[in-house]
Amino acid sequence: MAKISDPIPKTYDQWRHCITVDCGIPLTANFVTERLAVWRDEHAKETRRFRKLYGDDHWRAVLGWFEQAERELS
């Protein structure tokens, strides 16, 4: 897969590549579960900061991508 020119993923495949290849983070069940706990908590400091930086649309997209990864792992 070619390197993504836009650093902010727009699709699940781009996001997955960013996480697993560019960042070298395996999408394990534990990692996905931990991230979902944060992204689903609208009041978590990290979630609030992310939403402020990237907007609610991107936050919802990332949340959905983690949920898709969770489904693929089950």
Report pLDDT digits (tens) over 1-26.
445 457 899 999 999 999 999 999 99
Give the largest CA-CA distance in the chain.
36
Q: Is 5 exposed, middle or buried (0-12, 13-18, 19+ CB in 10 A)?
A: exposed
Domain ranges of the chain: 12-73
For residue range 27-55, list pLDDT tens digits in order.
999 999 999 999 999 999 999 999 999 99
